[in-house]
Amino acid sequence: MRNDVKLILLDKHQVEALSKPDDVVEAVREAFALHSAGEGRVFPVVREALVTGGVFGIKSGDVQSQGLLGFKAAGFWPANRGVGGEPHQATIMLIDPKTGRPVCVIDGNAITTMRTGAAGALGLTLFARADSTRLCVFGTGVQARVQVTFALRVLKQLSSIRYVTVDAQRDASFEAHFTGHCEVSHATDHNAAVAESDVVITATPGFGPLFNAAAVRPGTHLNCVGADTKGKRELPEGLLMRSRVFVDDRTQAREIGETQWAPGTVSIEIGDVITGRVQTNRQPDDITLFDMTGIALQDLTVARLLHQRACETSTATSLAWPW
């Protein structure tokens, strides 16, 4: 038995220091392509409510040909806000598929933020109109900010951002974060904000429909982030049937994403577009929609990238982990 084995640990600050946006986008692109090719497996999601008021989940998967195996244990604990903590909590573990031994434990919050932002960037690149100039975002939290940040990277003509808050109040911090990149304004009329936008991003807790279906004009693209659990939704009744719907995983989207509300919705997996198995042929008046539930392979390909980079730069913390 080996007694010199090390377990690599990467905390939030190390993950953020090692994460380069373009590299994360490519890792997420690879995850979707592996999924499309059948090389990357996504195991059934665990998602359960707790008596503490939290929700606990596990997303796991592997790429057998690459020796990649692992999981993310994550969830949402709203009471954390009362003690000054982050309600979203996640931890990722990479495992040696030959032995079952843990290889690396990583702060999952930072990876989840980046890989979801990167998925959003791919959705915009592949499905939004290239001439999109006006963006509307619902939410001003961590995920809303990263989605807008990636949108500014890929939509070069973007000139205005309208944001909608749950409490209908301005968010000075959000405005300051993006002022200087383009015009930023607070919107109180949800439907008008949607109707006047080329791209709509929904990044809320998913407590219910955010706007009316009739507000979405032909040619609009929507990136939808908030529906990731049974019972959650952000989109209104009837919008899916008017849209060309793209998802990260068809089965998962039906179970915990927006298509749980319309299981018969025809959808295309983004990986099939990336690999060329499906051509989008977007028309100017198409309403396109990317429902992002987040798949384990995104977490694993990004975690592997960061693990490799940490080892190369000797920036990781390591612990003796004999067996």
Q: Tell me: the pLDDT tens digits for 89-127?
A: 999 999 999 999 999 999 999 999 999 999 999 999 999
Rounded to whole angstroms, the Cα distance separating 95 from 102 reads 4
Tell me whether residue 236 is in a domain. yes
CATH code (residue 95): 3.30.1780.10
pLDDT at residue 4, as a whole number: 80
Query: Do residues 268 and 246 touch, judged by C-beta distance below 8 A?
Result: yes
Q: Which DSSP string corresponds to 282-321?
A: --TT--EEEE----HHHHHHHHHHHHHHHHHHT-SEEEE-
Q: Do residues 209 and 291 share a domain?
A: yes
Long-range contacts of 184-192 (CB under 8 A, 24+ apart): 184/160, 185/160, 185/161, 186/162, 187/136, 187/162, 187/163, 188/164, 190/138, 190/164, 190/215, 191/215
Q: Do residues 145 and 290 share a domain?
A: yes
Tell me whether residue 1 is in a domain. no
Tell me whether residue 121 is in a domain. no
Give the rounded percent of residues in the chain with a pLDDT score beyond 90: 93
Q: What is the pTM of this model?
A: 0.95
Query: Do residues 199 and 124 touch, judged by C-beta distance below 8 A?
Result: yes
CB neighbours of residue 44 within 10 Å: 11
**In a 10 Å sphere around its CB, with 0-12 CB exposed, 13-18 middle and 19+ buried, how is residue 105 labelled?**
buried
Tell me whether residue 124 is in a domain. no
Q: What is each CA distance from 225 to 98, 99, 232, 271, in whole angstroms?
A: 35, 36, 11, 17
Domain count, the chain: 2
Give the domain extent around 280: 129-295
Q: Tell me: the pLDDT tens digits for 42-51?
A: 999 999 999 9
Q: Do residues 148 and 279 share a domain?
A: yes
Query: Do residues 27 and 274 touch, judged by C-beta distance below 8 A?
Result: no
Q: Tell me: the pLDDT tens digits for 193-224?
A: 999 999 999 999 999 999 999 999 999 999 99
Q: Do residues 156 and 86 share a domain?
A: no
- Please check the confidence at residue 1 and state whether its pLDDT lies above 60: no
Q: Which DSSP string corresponds to 79-108?
A: GGGGGT--SEEEEEEEE-TTT--EEEEEEH
Q: Do residues 189 and 289 share a domain?
A: yes
CATH code (residue 151): 3.40.50.720
Pairing verdict, β 267-269 and 288-291 = unpaired
Q: Place 23 in a pLDDT band, splitting at 50, 70 and 90.
A: very high
